[in-house]
Amino acid sequence: MKLELDEYVHLESPLHRWDPRYKLAGLMALILAFSFVRDLRMLLPMVAATATVYLVSRLPLSFMLRRLRYPSIFVLAAVLILPFLAGQTIVLSIGPFDVRQEGLLAVLLIVTRFLCILTIGLILFGTTPFLTSIKAMRALGLPAILADMLLLSFRYLHEIGNDLQRMQTSMTLRGFHRHRLSPRGLRILAWLGGSILVRSYEQSEWVYKAMILRGYGHEPHPRDEFRACSRDVVALSVFLSTAVAFVAADVLWRYGPAALPW
């Protein structure tokens, strides 16, 4: 599993140059707006907006495709179940199973929204070094403890992954086949998971000691190292306007003009 999110931060694009704080605010607003979308007519503009931002970011397509693979497993359950359970209008019958129109449309909405939101998230972290993103979050008011937790989680995913790999290798060397599932095999995999958890806990205690030894918690004040220019503000305005437009259009389509607050 590829964990590095920021392998293309060296590229040159308007999104790479955008002040990380403004980028965080602008792209998060867009993600929030996408999560509000309920009307199917909004899907095409949503995909178009996402594709445009992705093109502007100049990130390679492979970057997105490789990273969408694993999170997509989470929506698989919805894709497999909803068409058969949600709604009344049967459009197709496969043996004893009926495929329903409402379920299909719900899947279309969920999958499109999921892919657009995830892609925007990838653009956010793919165009800014991870540490800079964390610093931008701090600058926007994220509590230090949460920022540190994020940072350490990201850092130690590698360590846990390496530990897991080493332990699996040693199990294989002693004749264990993890793909051959059996009650004993499952029990051993559970032990492996437990062992990883205990190791991570013990290591986190040592990491904390090491941080205390170098003065963790005594940092006098967080530095404000970002300098924004008018271009950053203009870009933020564009993204905020787009986000508001998405929410307003969705409300308009679904409930009519009377539902808008203005």
Partner 1 sequence: MLSEEPGVPVITVSNLWFSYPERPNVLRDVSLTVLPGERVGLIGPNGSGKTTLFLQVSGILKPSAGKIVVFGMPVVNGDFRSDMGMVLQNPDDQLFCPSVRDDVAFGPRNMGLSEDEIDARVTEALSIVDALELADRPPHHLSEGEKRMVAIAGVLAMRPRLLIYDEPSANLDIRSRRRLIRLLHASTETILIASHDLELVLEVCQRVVLIDDGRIIADGNPRDVMGNDRLMEAHGQEKPHSLLPHRFPHGKSLE
Nearest distance, CB of residue 199 and partner 1, angstroms: 11
**Rounded distance, CA 60 to CA 58, Å?**
6
Nearer to partner 1, 180 or 214 (CB): 214
Nearest distance, CB of residue 172 and partner 1, angstroms: 23
Nearest distance, CB of residue 147 and partner 1, angstroms: 13
Find, among 254, 226, 247, the residue nearest to 40 by Cα.
254
Nearest distance, CB of residue 174 and partner 1, angstroms: 23
Nearest distance, CB of residue 209 and partner 1, angstroms: 5
- As given in the structure block, the two tokens for residue 36 are 């509000």
Interface residues with partner 1 (CB under 8 A) are 129-131, 151-152, 154-156, 158-159, 162, 203, 206-207, 209-220, 223
Nearer to partner 1, 198 or 212 (CB): 212
Nearer to partner 1, 66 or 155 (CB): 155
Nearer to partner 1, 223 or 231 (CB): 223
**Rounded distance, CA 156 to CA 203, Å?**
10
Beta-strand runs (E) in the chain = 90-94, 97-100
Nearest distance, CB of residue 160 and partner 1, angstroms: 11
Angle (nearest 5°) at CA 119 between 106 and 109: 10
Cβ partners under 8 Å of residue 214, min gap 6: none
Nearer to partner 1, 142 or 240 (CB): 142
Nearer to partner 1, 6 or 102 (CB): 6
DSSP percent split of the chain into helix, strand, coil, nearest 5: 70, 5, 25
Bin 226: left if φ > 0, else alpha if -120 < ψ < 50, else beta.
beta
- As given in the structure block, the two tokens for residue 184 are 């004993």
Nearest distance, CB of residue 8 and partner 1, angstroms: 15
What is the distance in angstroms between the CA of the first residue and the CA of the last residue of the chain? 47
Buried b (16+ CB within 10 A) or exposed e, 205-232: eebeeeeeeeeeeeeeeeeeeeeeeeeb
Nearer to partner 1, 162 or 241 (CB): 162
